[in-house]
């Protein structure tokens, strides 16, 4: 039975939030005494979050700085002209200039990374010109390449001369923080589903340590969902291509999208017109109330033309006055130099000629003559323009205006259209400008988050999140699988869609054996818990020489740039080993082939030497990373 009341339309407006400049905080006194407080930096590919590792009672518990991990600098611009993070109020005009330190989720552009660290230290109240006397705790990608960690350690120890550095994985810090809040007994075992801006990860944790061998990465996350939504809406509304920006698509994802518990069943619901009218979100684009191509009277056209003429005359007059003033100032300067010659001050005269890039007094005199002529002509043009201003305006306004724009002359013998009178009486529908500038976001609300489970929707040839989870679980024994699925943890900014937890529970119910138990937990603050977990870890493990998880400057110099001190939320350190086999002893030649004398012996010696050198070179470049 149909409803008596029509469905209510949901019309939303884009917020188009513009960031405000970050203040430069003063360095808190309790961050210096009794020891220097660590600085916690969650170096994310979407946002950077930075703050002090101080107890919540002493300092605001939230990170002091939260900004986009981008920098905008045009080619050839100075370093000081670079805009970073919240210094860019609107990203769209500068989208083509934006640069990030990340490739996927790995830091590769360390020039941008250095600019972002300068921004963090400056706004936290530190001066990075000499050194930063605070320990640094920074997040890194799961299974971060040794070269990237080596470059990051080199930047922190050599450029900023920090005393201690610690690295950890953002998903593990969030897991550590939420387990402590739930009062779970350590060591923790579980599996983490982390989805960020560029990548998603499945991280198994066994007995409090990351099982790096079975970690997997999916190249589908928030940036792919935003690009997919932009492509869908641009195909749907080709008349609003410029208004469908990436920033607005990210706003749509964060505030208007959701994850369907049953994707195909949810799509069937959208076939119902009543359901569509009730659930569709109409996004209102900004527009002007004037209808383009509307009827304009002859008086309005004349007024517009008069205004344009006056504006052009004012612009030309202003330019002539500026040009005349510049020529007059240059002429006065040259005449002052000529007076030096007349007064006999030859040294000052020649010095002034060199400053003007002139060689002789004759060249000076020719420049003076040209400038005098230009000044006189400029004054005459100004007088003429002032006198002819009124005449030009009147003559332009008296020009006839073609009232039949684009309409051919009618033959008087041609009969009039008998339907013209009827067409006048037909009521034309009013054009609704506001509705024309509305985006109807329907099934797009659930299709874009769905790419996390079905990457084939955007043409990605890889498994979805739950298929990959099944593949990871299959690498463990049944007992270990039970322990892992008893603590399935969801974290990351791309996991904040409504319905995400219910969807994972439904998929796990289909994957797991009959009557098996599992538990899915969502992070308290999926986007910020990584920073809070890193802060809690830093407070519980103070920085000191030889302390677990901290790399001192001595460790950096003795054990290499890529060294990592492991802890409960860190990657597994896999040192790079260089194989140096024992050189083989040269075999003695048989008596029949011995050439003890002459050129043959010399050739044999050279051949043996070259063979040994080539084998030594091959041993030097044989690098094995285990």
pLDDT digits (tens, 9 = 90+) for 463-484: 999 999 999 999 999 999 999 9
Q: Which two tokens stand for residue 277?
A: 């009218």
pLDDT exceeds 80 at position 404 = no
Is the pLDDT confidence value at 54 over 60?
Answer: yes
Residue 11's H or E segment, with its range, is: strand 10-13
CA Rg, the chain, in Å?
37
Calculated CA dihedral for residues 431, 432, 434, 440, nearest 10 degrees: -110
Rounded to the nearest 10 degrees, the angle between the axes of helix 298-342 and helix 346-355 is 150
pLDDT at 310: 86
Q: What is the pLDDT of residue 414?
A: 41
Q: 504 — phi, psi (to 5°)?
A: -65, -40
pLDDT of residue 6: 54
- CA distances in angstroms from 563 to 39, 171, 543, listed in the order given: 20, 21, 16
Mean pLDDT of 52-80: 81
Candidates 181, 203, 208, 207; CA nearest to 192 is: 203
Strand order in the sheet with 164-169: 65-68, 47-52, 39-43, 136-140, 164-169, 551-552
- The chain-wide mean pLDDT, for the chain, equals 84
Q: What is the pLDDT of residue 389?
A: 58
Output the pLDDT for position 380. Answer: 83
User: Nearest Cα to 474, choosing from 224, 214, 281, 114?
Assistant: 214
Report whether pLDDT(595) > 50: no
59: pLDDT strictly greater than 90: no
- Predicted local distance difference test score (pLDDT) of residue 430: 63
How many whole angstroms separate alpha carbon 399 and alpha carbon 346? 62
DSSP letter for each residue of 252-284: HHHHH----SSHHHHHHHTTSHHHHHHH-EEEE
Of 30-44, 48-62, 286-300, 328-342, least confident by mean pLDDT is 286-300
Is the pLDDT confidence value at 264 over 90? yes
pLDDT band, very low/low/confident/very high, at 445 (cuts 50, 70, 90)? very high
Please tell me the distance from the alpha carbon of residue 551 to that of residue 564, in angstroms, as a whole number.
Answer: 7
Selected residue with higher pLDDT from 140 and 81:
140
Residue 495 has pLDDT above 90, yes or no: yes
SS3 169: strand
> Coil, strand or helix: which one is 573?
coil
d(CA 540, CA 8): 53
More confident residue, 412 or 192: 192
pLDDT on residue 412? 44
- What does DSSP assign to residue 551? E
For 186, 325, 342, 353, the CA distances from 356, given in Å and listed in that order, are 80, 19, 18, 5
pLDDT tens, position by position, 575-589? 877 665 666 665 554
Q: Is this prediction's pTM over 0.95? A: no
- Is 623 a residue whose pLDDT tops 70? no
Q: In angstroms, rounded to a whole number, what is the distance separating the alpha carbons of residues 490 and 469? A: 12
Tokens encoding 479 = 């007992």
What percentage of the chain reaches a pLDDT higher than 90? 58
**Interatomic CA distance for residues 145 and 347, integer angstroms:** 68
pLDDT at 198: 96
Residue 38 predicted with pLDDT over 60: yes
HSE-CB at 618 with a 13 A cutoff on CA atoms is: 9
Given the structure tokens 């010696």, which residue do they identify? 605
End-to-end CA distance of the chain: 69
What confidence score (pLDDT) does residue 392 get? 53
What pLDDT is stored for residue 373 in this prediction?
Answer: 87
């Amino acid at each position: 039975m149909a409803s008596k009341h029509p469905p209510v339309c949901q019309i939303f407006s884009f917020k188009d939030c513009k960031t405000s400049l970050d203040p430069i905080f003063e360095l808190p006194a309790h961050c210096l005494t009794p020891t220097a407080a660590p600085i916690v930096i969650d170096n994310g590919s979407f946002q950077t979050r930075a703050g002090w590792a101080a107890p919540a009672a002493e300092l605001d518990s939230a990170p002091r700085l939260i900004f986009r991990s981008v920098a905008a600098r045009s080619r050839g611009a100075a370093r000081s002209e670079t805009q970073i993070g919240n210094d860019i109020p609107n990203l769209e005009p500068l989208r083509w200039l934006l640069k990030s330190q990340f490739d996927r989720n790995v830091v590769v552009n360390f020039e941008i990374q250095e600019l972002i660290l300068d921004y963090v230290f400056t706004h936290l109240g530190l001066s990075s010109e000499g050194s930063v006397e605070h320990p640094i705790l920074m997040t890194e990608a799961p299974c971060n390449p040794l070269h990237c960690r080596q470059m990051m350690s080199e930047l922190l120890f050599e450029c900023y001369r920090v005393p201690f550095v610690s690295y950890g994985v953002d998903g593990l810090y969030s897991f550590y923080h939420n387990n402590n809040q739930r009062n779970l007994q350590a060591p923790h075992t579980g599996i983490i589903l982390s989805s960020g801006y560029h990548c998603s990860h499945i991280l198994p944790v066994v007995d409090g340590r990351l099982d790096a061998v079975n970690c997997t990465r999916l190249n589908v996350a928030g940036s792919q969902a935003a690009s997919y939504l932009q492509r869908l809406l641009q195909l749907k509304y080709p008349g609003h291509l410029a208004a469908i920006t990436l920033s607005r698509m990210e706003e749509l994802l964060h505030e208007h999208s959701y994850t369907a518990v049953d994707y195909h069943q949810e799509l069937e619901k959208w076939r119902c017109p009543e359901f569509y009218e009730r659930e569709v979100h109409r996004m209102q684009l900004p527009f002007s109330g004037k209808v383009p191509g509307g009827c304009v009277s002859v008086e309005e056209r004349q007024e517009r033309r008069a205004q344009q003429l006056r504006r052009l005359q004012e612009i030309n007059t202003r330019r002539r006055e500026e040009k005349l003033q510049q020529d007059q100032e240059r002429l006065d300067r040259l005449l002052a130099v000529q007076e030096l010659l007349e007064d006999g001050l030859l040294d000052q005269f020649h010095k002034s000629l060199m400053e003007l890039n002139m060689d002789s007094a004759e060249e000076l005199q020719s420049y003076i003559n040209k400038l005098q002529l230009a000044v006189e002509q400029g004054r005459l043009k100004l007088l003429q323009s002032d006198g002819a201003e009124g005449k030009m305006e009147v003559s332009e306004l008296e020009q006839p205006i073609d009232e039949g724009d684009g309409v051919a002359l009618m033959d008087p013998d041609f009969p009039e259209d008998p339907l013209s009178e009827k067409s006048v009486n037909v009521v034309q529908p009013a054009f609704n400008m506001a509705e024309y500038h509305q985006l109807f976001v329907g099934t797009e609300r659930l299709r874009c988050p769905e790419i996390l489970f079905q990457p084939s929707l955007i043409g990605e040839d890889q498994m979805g999140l739950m298929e990959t989870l099944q593949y990871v679980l299959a690498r463990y024994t049944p007992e270990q699988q039970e322990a892992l699925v008893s603590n399935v943890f969801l974290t990351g900014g791309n996991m904040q869609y409504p319905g995400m937890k219910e969807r994972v529970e439904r998929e796990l119910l289909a994957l797991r054996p009959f009557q098996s138990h599992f538990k899915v937990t969502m992070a308290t603050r999926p986007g910020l818990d990584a920073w809070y977990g890193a802060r809690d870890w830093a407070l519980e493990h103070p920085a000191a020489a030889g302390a677990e998880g901290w790399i001192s400057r001595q460790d950096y110099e003795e054990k290499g740039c890529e060294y990592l001190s492991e802890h409960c939320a860190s990657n597994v350190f896999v040192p790079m080993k260089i194989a140096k086999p024992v050189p083989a002893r040269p075999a003695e030649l048989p008596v029949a082939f011995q050439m003890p004398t002459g050129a043959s012996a010399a050739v044999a010696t050279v051949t043996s030497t070259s063979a040994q050198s080539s084998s030594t070179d091959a041993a030097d470049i044989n690098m094995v990373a285990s």
